[in-house]
């Protein structure tokens, strides 16, 4: 990373942290008196748009969206690959209102956590996976019925650019049980905003929104099949974006 880019990155994080502290503090005193959808816009949409703007101005990170016409009118379960913090900003601003899974401990952070608690997140105890899975299913179903998008990162955690993680079935199970589709999303944010370190690369992130995917039937088999389709779609998009090497071409030869 060049000295100039290091300076720009420093000021980006300085302004991002300062704006976060100020906005969460302000939200703590104003947001409780707003209806939920207005509260979500006030706390999350406006600040995440600010974060995206800071990313563009200081880091030179822009984005383009492909497939925006595929977004359904009714909120459903969003399945996205996870490479960086950037897509959290983007998805939280683009889909409103939106809830996502996060560690319960984050809600205890002064002001920041208190503001997040007002956004109806799905807060889980990562040390108790079985209880966490049940909570995601119960809370997620309630949110979907209330017209809230539910964001699931099926890889479970951020994975380095150039790799893909195994898709868990929690998101597809939630969608099937709610009789709703999953909306697959793929991106290459990790190319410009790596999983680790402070270094950032200037460039344009591509976000691809696929057509909603519906399960064929009900029960565990339908959930597994839908999950496999979503994972395969994401991997194919990653290859198309250049995040993964192209699949080798198998040439059939006939015996002479």
73-95 per-position pLDDT tens digit? 999 999 999 999 999 999 999 99
DSSP 159: -
Q: How many residues does the chain have?
A: 256
| pLDDT for the residue 250 | 46
Instruction: Indicate the number of domains in the chain.
Output: 1
Instruction: Classify residue 145: in a domain, yes or no.
Output: yes
Instruction: Classify residue 256: in a domain, yes or no.
Output: no
Instruction: Classify residue 246: in a domain, yes or no.
Output: no
Give the whole-angstrom CA distance, residue 16 versus residue 139: 30
pTM score, whole prediction: 0.90
CATH (domain of 130): 3.40.1130
Distances (CA, A) of 130 to 123, 124, 125, 201: 14, 10, 10, 39
Residue 122 structural domain? 3-240
Instruction: Classify residue 236: in a domain, yes or no.
Output: yes
The tokens for 180 are: 């709703």
Instruction: Classify residue 131: in a domain, yes or no.
Output: yes
147-188 per-position pLDDT tens digit? 999 999 999 889 999 999 999 999 999 999 999 999 999 999
Instruction: Classify residue 51: in a domain, yes or no.
Output: yes
Instruction: Classify residue 33: in a domain, yes or no.
Output: yes
Instruction: Classify residue 177: in a domain, yes or no.
Output: yes
């Amino acid at each position: 990373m060049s000295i100039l880019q290091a300076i720009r990155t420093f000021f980006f994080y300085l302004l991002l942290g300062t704006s976060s502290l100020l906005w969460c503090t302000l939200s703590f005193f104003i947001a409780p008196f707003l209806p939920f959808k207005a509260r979500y816009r006030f706390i999350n949409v406006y600040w995440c748009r600010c974060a995206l703007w800071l990313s563009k101005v200081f880091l030179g990170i822009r984005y383009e969206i492909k497939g925006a016409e595929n977004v359904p009118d009714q909120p459903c379960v969003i399945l996205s690959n996870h490479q960086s913090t950037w897509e959290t900003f983007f998805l939280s601003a683009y889909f409103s209102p939106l809830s996502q899974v996060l560690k319960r401990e984050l809600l205890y952070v002064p002001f920041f956590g208190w503001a997040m608690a007002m956004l109806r997140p799905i807060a889980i105890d990562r040390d108790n996976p079985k209880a966490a899975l049940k909570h995601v299913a119960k809370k997620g179903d309630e949110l979907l019925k209330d017209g809230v998008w539910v964001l699931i990162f099926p890889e479970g955690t951020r994975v380095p650019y150039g790799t893909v993680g195994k898709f868990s079935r929690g998101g597809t199970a939630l969608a099937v049980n709610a009789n709703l589709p999953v909306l697959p999303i793929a991106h290459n944010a990790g190319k410009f905003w790596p999983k680790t370190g402070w270094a950032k690369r200037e460039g344009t992130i591509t976000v691809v929104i696929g057509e909603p995917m519906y399960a064929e039937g009900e029960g565990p088999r339908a959930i597994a099949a839908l999950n496999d389709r979503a994972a395969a779609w994401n991997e194919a998009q990653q290859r198309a974006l250049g995040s993964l090497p192209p699949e080798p071409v198998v040439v059939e030869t006939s015996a002479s």
